[in-house]
Amino acid sequence: MSIAEPPGTTRSSDGAAPPANDSVRLRGRSRKRLTSLFAHGEPMVWLSGGSLVLALFMIIGLMALVLRMGFGTFWPGPLHELKLHDGSAVLGEVTRVQEIPAAEGADPDEAAKLRTEVRVGNFDITGVHFRWIDNAEILEATTPEFAVLIERLEWGRFYGTPVAFEIGDERVAEGAEAAWAAFEEHHETVRDRWERARDIEKHDVGKVNHTLEAARLSVRRVGLDHGFESPEYRAASAAADELAQGYEAEYAELRAIVDDLDTQNEGYRIVMATADGEEVPLDVEGIVRAVPANMLTTVDKWGVYGSRWGEFLTAEPRESNSEGGVLPAIFGTVMMTLIMTIFVVPFGVLAALYLREYAKQGVLVSIVRIAVNNLAGVPSIVFGVFGLGFFCYIVGARIDELFYYERLPSAHFGTGGIMWASLTLSLLTLPVVIVATEEALAAVPNSMREGSYACGASKWQTIRRIVLPRAAPGIMTGVILAIARGAGEVAPLMIVGAVKLAPELPVDGVAPFVHLERSFMHLGFHIYDLGFQSQNSEAAKPMVFTTTLLLISIVVLLNVAAIGVRSRLNRRFGTGRI
C-alpha cells in the first residue's frame, strides 16, 4: 500500500524524494526571501532608537554647556596688563582668544592671526566694557601683583592699581601695598554703615510712608462716600493730620540716623590708577567687592567664589540686572509656580472627574475633550493677551471700582500682578492636568467601583474613598508636568505682571503681608532681559548661563518634591498608574 505524498513534493532524477528536513529548510528560505525587513519593522526600530540616542546627546550636551558656563561664571581669573606697540596699555580679564578670518584672496600659507577679547571695565571713563586687541599689536603681557578688580554699585567693574587711600581731605596711605591695607581695614565697616542706612530707608522709613499713604487714601474714601464737605470727611482729615504729626517725629529720627551714617561714610576713598596712569578716586561705600586677583591663593579664590554665589542668591540685581543677585526673581518664580499649582489642580481634577465619572458620554463630551486637547496647543502668548484683557482690564478693574475706588485712576488690581500671572498660567496648564487626571481615573479598575457600590456606598463616597486615592499618583503626574511647563513660560508673564526690576517682594512685613497685586520678577524673564535687553550683552552673557542653571535647578527641585509625594501615594495605594 502506497502512502500519498504531500503536494509539491519533488523527486530526484532517480525517483527518490528529498529528505523532510531539506523540504522544511527550503520553505523557510523561501519565506525569508519573500518577507522584507520593513514588514518586521526593523528599520523603524533602528530609526526610533537612533532618534532617542540623538535626543539624549542633545540634552546632555545642553546641560553640560549650562553647567560648565553657569558654575564657571563667578570663578576669579587672573588680571592681565597688555602693553601695546602704540604706547598704550590695557588692564582687564581675558575672556577669549579668537582666530581672525583671512581676507578674501589672502595667501593660504600665511600664518593665522589671532585677536584677544579683554574685559576692560571702567565704563565711566572709557565708555566700553570689552575691547578686542589684535595679538600682533601686543608688545608685552604681564600679571601685575597689585592689579585689583573692583565690583561697584554703579558703572560696573573697575580695573586698576591702588595708589592711595583718603579719609576726608587727607591721604592716610600712599603706595599700592599701603593703600590696599588701608582699604581692607575700613571697607567692611563702611559697607556695614551703608547697608544699615539703606535698610532703614527701605523698611522703617518705607513703613512710615506706607502708613501715611494708607491714611491719605482712607480720608479720600470717606470723601467719596460722604462728600468732601461732610462732617465725616473733616473728622477723618483731622485724624489723618494727627496721625501724620505723630509720625513726623519718628520720621525725623529715622532720617537723622540715615544722614548720620551717610556722613560718617563721606570722605572714605581709594585712589586707583588705570593702566594708562589716570588716577580715579572711588568712594568706598560704593564698592561691593574688591578682588586682588593676582595675589589670591586657592583658598582665597574659593572664598571669592562662595561670596559671589551668596550675593547672587540673596541680593537684589544692579547694573541693569547684569550684576548683583536674583533673590526677587527666585522668590517671584517659586511663589508664582505655587499659586499656579493651587489654582490649576482643583479645577483640573474637578473637570476631569465630571467628564469621566458624571457626564453622559456623547457628542457634547467628545467636543469638550477635543477642545481641551486643542487648548493645549494654543500659543502661550495668546493666553497672555487673554489674561491681560480678562483678568487685568475686566476682573481687576471691576475689583478696583468696588473695593479700591479711592485709588483711582491709579490701578491696584487693574494692572499686571502675580495673581493674574498665576491665573493665566493656570489656564495654560489646565489641559495637562485634565488629560492626566482622566487617564488616572480610567486606570482605576471598575471592579473596585462595583465592589464599593455593592457595599452600599454612594457614587461620591466611591469616588472620594476608592477612585481618587488610587488615581492620585496619576494626578500628581499631571501636576508635575504643569509645574515643569508653567515655571519656564515667559511670553504670558511679559504681559501680565513680570517686570525688569521689582525689588519689593509680594510678601513683606506690611499688612496684609501678602500682596498678590504687585508686579514681580521671574527668572525666565530675567534671562530674556539679560540676553536681549542688556546694555552690554557680552558682560551679561555669563549671568545668562548662571540664571539658566538656577531656573533649571528650581524646576527640578519642585518636580522632585512632587515626585516624592507621588511615590508615597503610589506605595500606599499601589494601583494608580504613574
CA distance 311 to 383: 35
**Taking the alpha carbons of 340, 343, 347, 349 in that order, is the dihedral positive or negative?**
positive
Question: What distances in angstroms separate CA 201 from CA 212, 214, 257, 329, 391, one per listed residue?
Answer: 15, 18, 10, 22, 34
Q: pLDDT tens string for the chain (578 positions)? A: 444 454 444 454 455 555 555 554 545 554 555 556 555 667 778 888 889 999 999 999 989 998 988 898 899 999 999 999 888 899 999 988 888 766 665 555 555 688 898 999 888 888 888 888 998 899 989 999 999 999 998 888 999 999 999 998 888 889 999 999 999 999 999 999 999 999 998 888 888 888 888 899 999 999 998 888 888 899 999 998 888 888 888 888 999 999 999 999 988 999 999 998 899 999 999 999 999 999 999 999 999 999 999 999 998 888 778 888 899 999 999 999 999 999 999 999 999 999 988 888 888 888 988 888 888 888 889 999 999 999 999 999 999 999 988 888 888 898 889 999 999 999 999 999 999 999 999 888 888 888 988 898 888 899 988 898 888 888 888 888 888 888 888 889 889 988 888 877 888 777 777 888 888 999 989 888 888 877 777 777 888 889 999 999 988 888 888 888 888 877 777 644 44
Exposed, middle or buried by CB within 10 Å (0-12, 13-18, 19+), for 481? middle
Q: What angle do CA 475, 430, 345 make, to 5 degrees?
A: 45
Residue 251 makes CB contacts below 8 A (sequence gap 6+) with 205, 208
pLDDT digit string, tens, across residues 329-362: 999 999 999 999 999 999 999 999 999 888 888 8
Going by C-alpha positions, the residue among 401, 400, 399, 405 that lies closest to residue 223 is: 405
Specify whether the CB–CB gap between 487 and 337 falls below 8 A: yes
Exposed, middle or buried by CB within 10 Å (0-12, 13-18, 19+), for 504? middle
Specify whether the CB–CB gap between 47 and 38 falls below 8 A: no
Q: Which amino acid is at 426?
A: S
Going by C-alpha positions, the residue among 524, 171, 535 that lies closest to residue 333 is: 524
**407: its cell numbers:** 485709588
Give, for 576, the enclosing helix (H) or strand (E).
none
Residue 284, CB-side half-sphere exposure with 13 Å CA sphere: 29
512 prior amide bond cis, ω within 30: yes
CA distance 434 to 525: 27
pTM of the predicted model as reported, rounded to 2 decimal places: 0.82
pLDDT digit string, tens, across residues 124-158: 888 888 888 998 899 989 999 999 999 998 888 99
DSSP states along 174-203: ESHHHHHHHHHHHHHHHHHHHHHHHHIIII
Q: What angle do CA 114, 67, 78 make, to 5 degrees?
A: 45
**290: its cell numbers:** 574688591
